[in-house]
Amino acid sequence: MTLTHSRAGSATRRRRGGARQSRAGMAFVAAYVVLLIAFGVLPTAYAIYFAFTDAGGRVTGFTNFVTTAQDFRFLDAVGHVATYLAFWLLSLVVFVVALALLLHRLASGSASKALRFLYYIPGALAGAASVLVWLFMLDPTVSPVSSLLGALGFHTFGEVIAPGNLPLLFTIIAFWTGAGGWIVVMYGALNNIPTDVMEAARVDGAGAWQTAWHVQIPMLRKWIVYMVILAFAGGAQLFVEPQLLSLASVGVAGRDYSLNQLTYDFAFQMNNINGAAAVSVELLVVSVSAAAVFVARSGFFDAD
Amino acid sequence: MSRSHHQPPHRRPVRRLASRLLTGSVLAGFLAFFVLPVLWLVLAATKTDQQLVHDNPLSFGSFPALKANWDALTAFQDNAVMQWLGNSALYAVISLVITLGVAIPAGYALAMTEFRGRHTLLVATLVVMLMPNATLVVPLFLEINAVHLIGTMWSIILPYSFYPFGVYLTYIYFTTAVPKDLLAAARMDGCSEFRVFWHIALPLATPVIALVGFFSFVANWTNYFLPYVMLPESSQMPIQVGVGSLLSNVPSFNPAVGNLAIERPQLALATLVAITPVLIVFLFAQRFLVSGMLAGATKE
C-alpha cells in the first residue's frame, strides 16, 4: 500500500517536473526562435513573395523566373558556377581525404599536429583577405612563384586571370582557405575509428593502401558527404572572389560572373528586386534540398 | 604499388623508404602551398613597391619602408583603415555577445530538456545551418529595408547574431559530454531550471562556449557580402569591405586610378591588419580546433 502510494507520488512529481522542464526549455530557446523567425523564416518567405510578384505587388506566377533565366548572362553564370563547383568538390574530396590519411599515418605525433596547425592558418584569411593574397600570388610581376607561372606560359596578370582559368583559380583560393579546417575534421574522425578495427586490418595483412581504401575511407563516408554538402551549398554562393577580381582586372571578370553577383546586379543596378528574388529563391531551393536530403538520408544528425 | 600490399611493410625496406619519401614530399608540398602566401604577405608589407617587384620575393624589406607603408595607409582617406577596423570590432563583438547569449541556452535546452516543438526546432536548425547565408542577402536587404534599418549597424549585427551552427554545436556538446543524471540530481535537490543551467551546465560548457565564440567571431569578421549590401557608406564599412575598396585604388590592378593611389605593399599591409584580430583569436582557440574536438562531437 505504502509502496503504491509512493510510486504514484513520484509519478506526479515527475509529471510536474516535466511540465516545469518544458516551460524552462521553451524559455531557453525563446530568443533563438525569435532570431530564427526574423532572419531565417521571414527573409525566405519575403524572397518567395517577391519572386512570384511584380513591382506593383501583383502575382505573376513564374514570370520572374522565366525573365531572369532568359537574361543573356544567366546561363553563363550557371555554367561558371557549375564548373567551379566541379573543380572545387573534386579537389576537396581527393586532397582533404588523402592529406588527412597521410597525416594520420605520420609516426611523429608532434609533426602531425604542427602540420595540421600550419595547414589551418589560411583559414584565418577567409573572405576578402584570401582573394587579395591570391591576386598577388597570381601576378607574375610580384609573385613568389613567378617562375612557375612563367613555366606554365603565363607572363602577365592578364594572361593568368583569363576567363577560362577562373574556375580553377577560385578553386585554388577556396581550397587554400577551406581545406585546413576539413583536414582537422577528417583527422578527428580517423581518430574515432576504434583501435581494434585498425588492429584487425593489420593482422589480416592489409597494407596502408588497403586499410585506407577498405577500412578508413568507408568509415569517413558520412563526414565526406557532410563536407561535400556544405562545400556545394557554400560554393554555389560564389560572390566575393569574382567581385574583387572584377575590381582588380578592369573587367576581365565581369560583375556578373556568378549567380550571386547576378542577384546583386538585378537588385541594385537594374532595380529589378523581383528578378533578384527569383534567382535567390532558385539558389535557396538548391541548397535547402541538398541539406534536406542530407539530414534525412545520412543519419548524420540523429535528431532523435 | 597495388600489387605490393600482400607483403608486410617491414619486409620491403626500399619500398618503405620510397613511400616515406613520397609521403614527406606531398606533405611538404602542401605545407609550401598553405604557408608561403602568408609568409610572402608578411614580408611584402615591409617593402617598397620597387623592392616588391625586384627583390627576392621572400626577403625582408626594411623597417623604414614598413613605417612608410603604415603612414601612407593610415593617411588614406583620413585614417579610414582604423575606422573600418573599429567598425569591424564593434559589429563582431556585439553580435558575438548576442550569439552566445542566445545560442548556448538554446543548444542546452534542445539537448537537456523536453518541450513541445523541440524536434521541429532541431530539424529547422539543421536545415538552416546547412543553408549558406549568402542566399539570404538580397531577401534580408528587403526585410531590413522594410523596417528602415538599412545603413545602421543593426542591419548586419542582428542577422549575424542568428547563428544556428552555434546552437547545433552546443546541442551536440551537451548531449555527448554532459550526463543528464547530473542535472536530474540537481533538480532533485530543488534547484530551479535556471539555477541548474547557470550553476551546473554553464561551468561545464567552457570548451563549447570558446568554440562557438571563435566560429561566430571569424564568420562575422570575414563576412563580405552582407555588409557590402547593407552599409554602403565608407564610414560604416567593416575592414573586409574597406580593404576591397582599397583594391580599386591600386594602380597596378586598376590603371584608371588617379593621384589618390595606394601601392601594392600598402595593400598587403592592409590585408595583414585586417586578419590580425582573427589570427589572435585563432591562436587562443587553436587547442580546441586542432585537437579535432569538432569531429569528436559526432554522436557515435
State the complex-level ipTM. 0.85
**Confidence at residue A2, expressed as pLDDT on a 0 to 100 scale:** 42
Distance CA B27, CA B62 (A): 32
pLDDT at A76: 92
Smallest Cα distance from A1 to chain B, Å: 24
As a whole number, the mean pLDDT across chain A is 86
Question: Which of A253, A189, A132, A100 minimizes the C-alpha distance to B264?
Answer: A132
Q: Which of A13, A21, A32, A131 would best serve as a mutation to test chain B binding (most B beta carbons within 10 A)? A: A32
> CA A39 to CA B128: how far, in whole Å?
10
Confidence (pLDDT) at A299:
67
Nearest to A184 among B23, B37, B292 (CB): B292
CA–CA separation, A37 and B162 (whole Å): 10
Residue with cell 567598425: B87
Query: Which of B26, B218, B295 lies closest to A188 in CB terms?
Result: B295
What does the pLDDT read at residue B258?
64
Sign for the CA dihedral angle at B39, B43, B223, A250 comes to: negative
Mean pLDDT of the region B55-75? 89
**Once rounded to an integer, what is the mean pLDDT over residues B63-70?**
92
pLDDT for res B288: 67
Closest-CA residue to A274 (of B185, B121, B139, B279): B139
Q: What is the pLDDT of residue A98?
A: 95
Q: Chain B residue with minimal CA distance to A116?
A: B290
Report pLDDT for A99: 95
The answer to whether the beta carbons of residues B46 and B63 sit under 8 Å apart is yes
For residue B292, what is its C-alpha cell?
579535432
Q: Worst-scoring range by mean pLDDT, B181-195, B210-224, B262-276?
A: B181-195
Name the most confidently modeled range: A272-281, B190-199, B241-250: A272-281
A253: pLDDT strictly greater than 90: no
Residue numbers of B between 147 and 166 with CB closer than 8 Å to A: 158-159, 161-162, 164
Residue A1 has pLDDT above 60, yes or no: no
Over residues B101-124, mean pLDDT: 92
Q: What is the pLDDT of residue B291?
A: 55
CA distance B193 to chain A (A): 6
pTM value? 0.86
Mean pLDDT of A215-221: 88
**Which of B12-16, B155-159, B273-277 is least confident?**
B12-16
- Specify the higher pLDDT residue, B36 or B78: B36
Q: Is residue B254 less than 8 Å (CB to CB) from chain A?
A: yes
Q: What gap in Å lies between CA B138 and CA A217, rounded to an integer?
A: 39
Comparison of pLDDT for A59 and B286, the residue scoring more: A59
* Across A41-55, average pLDDT: 91
pLDDT at B254: 75
Q: What is the pLDDT, as a whole number, of residue A194?
A: 83
Can you give the pLDDT at residue B12?
Answer: 66
User: How many CB atoms lie under 10 A from the CB of residue A299?
Assistant: 10
Convert A125-155 to b/e letters by CB count within 10 Å (16 or more is b). Answer: bbbbbbbbbbbbbbbbebbbbbeebeeeebe
pLDDT confidence band for A176 (50 / 70 / 90) = very high
pLDDT of A250 > 90? The answer is: no
